[in-house]
A and B are shown apart, each in its own frame.
Chain A
Amino acid sequence: MSQENPIISVSGLSKRFGDVYAVNDINFTVGAGSITGLLGTNGAGKTTTIAMLLGLIIPTSGKVEIFKFDMLKTRHAALARMNFSSPYIDLPQRLTVAQNLTVYAKLYGLSNIPDRLAQLARELQLSDFIDRPYRTLSSGQKTRAMLAKSLLNEPELLLLDEPTASLDPDTADWIRQYLANYQRRTNATILLASHNMPEVERLCDQVLMLRDGKIITRGTPAELIKAHGGETLEEVFLAVVRQNQNGSAARRLI
């Protein structure tokens, strides 16, 4: 699926750790204002891909361009316009939510920090725990605090690693709704890695499925369901990832 105005452009991207390719020669683009889902089993290469997009991991080969900036050479030009959230990387535990957000607001160069924090506290319902240390929060509260951190700079590009992992259905649904609204309101581009198929089906315009570091199929959720049979994206996912590595049924929809 090519995009006329890509915010993310990835070509020939690989990452090798020792003898193992975590990501192996992947190519994709993500268009402005779209939501793209990155699906795959554990160890498929989703987090490594996101980390390379962020410049946290240097690729073994290939190229990542975000907002047309080469992330290997000029990533700082892009980083101010993007943000990231992952349940697997905590914020400093002993700082309160407000302190964490203040620190990150300064790192992103925000000028009117109290107003921005008040706005995010209102939108993400942080007020009850904004002055509590991060370590004392529940999973749902931590996710909302982390989301607030990732929205501080009103990012044009938001990278989310499993945004609703380990949340109860109600909180997870609330987060999904918030993300969808945020995207509509700001026309932001979102790339999210997820294991939650209904979530991806509901939110995403485009889906990339990874296995063993390779993109094995891609398309809109409807295209994938149509192409691979089944009734839900989950059935497609299970069928695709269980195929033999050398199987030919994994199709690529362009």
Chain B
Amino acid sequence: MKKNHLRRFEFSVGRVYGLVLRYWYLLKGSVPRLLELAYWPSIQLILWGFISQFFLSQSSALAGAAGVLISAVLLWDILFRCQLGFSISFLEELWSRNLGHLFVTPLRAHEFIAALMTISLIRVFIGVGPAILIAIPLYHFSIFDLGLPLIAFFVNLMMFGWAIGLLVTALLLRVGVGAESIAWAMIFLIAPVSAIYYPVAILPDWLRAVAWALPPAHIFEGMRSVLINGTFDVNFWLNAFGLNIFYLTISSAAFLYNFHSARRDGKLLQIGE
């Protein structure tokens, strides 16, 4: 009997793959959706690329920071698209009222989360990949020049994107699809204190504390350190990683708590459009 109690903690790669397949079918079944994924990041990149070139032509002081703005745009899009990919995939289940079917299969809640994380990763590659490639011929800038630190930044951005995505899904489970706009809006709440385009030092004192309590400020300061000073400050990475573990734990707990509440309140059968 004890073994049966532990079954709730089982993890099946096959079930995660099955659910990822469900989201993949959705994506590949709609060319407009696939194009839209890549459209916005590419437009952002093109806009900021030209703005960046204009700044560089106006100020020699910024010449050493070539690529900072473009890198910031690309890394921010990784974070935004990751969170959005996670939340939208969850919303697909609400829109199609499919949760009732999913959770009468042996699928566990943590496998569901793993599937949402995987599809968000795929969506990031599809969405931001073209923008990264466009930057190379258009602005002679390759984000891959960041080298190994790029992997460190990427991992941290994905982790924080998942944390926000989990928080959004937890809220959607509680309040329903009426609040679906938070899937797009929530990440922008932290944008001003994420030090994407400007250093944390620009912020007023009281806001700096808020900024340093969030992983993106460490990631983007770390990015600037690599691009401007040519040094990878491991402390930025460690701080961001530690904070991400904290936020992922909190948001996972919020999701699981609200999932339990949804079962208690009968929402898994009812929630949807």
Contacts and interface: CB of A to CB of B under 8 A. Distances in A.
A92 B91 CA distance: 12
Contacts of B174: none
B97 interface: yes
If over half of B's interface residues share one DSSP class (helix, strand or loop), that class is named, otherwise mixed; here it is: helix
A104 B101 contact: yes
A165 interface: no
Interface in A31-85: 47-48, 51, 54-58, 69, 73-74, 76-77, 79-80, 82-84
Interface in A73-104: 73-74, 76-77, 79-80, 82-84, 86, 89-96, 99, 102-104
Contact of A107 (B7, B105, B260): B105
B100 interface: yes
B18 A92 contact: no
Give the interface residue-count category, chain B. 35 or more
Contacts of A15: 266
Given A107-B102, A108-B106, A69 B4 contact: yes
B79 to A, nearest CB: 28
Which residue of B7, B104, B107 has the most chain A CB atoms within 10 A of its CB atom? B104
A209 B8 CA distance: 34
Contact of A103 (B8, B19, B97): B19
Contacts of B100: 51, 56, 86, 89
Contacts of A89: 97-98, 100-101, 269
24 contacts: A51-B266, A55-B103, A56-B104, A57-B263, A57-B264, A57-B269, A58-B260, A73-B5, A74-B4, A80-B106, A82-B104, A84-B104, A89-B98, A89-B100, A89-B101, A90-B98, A92-B92, A92-B96, A92-B98, A94-B26, A94-B30, A99-B21, A103-B22, A107-B102
Interface of A: 15, 17, 47-48, 51, 54-58, 69, 73-74, 76-77, 79-80, 82-84, 86, 89-96, 99, 102-109, 149
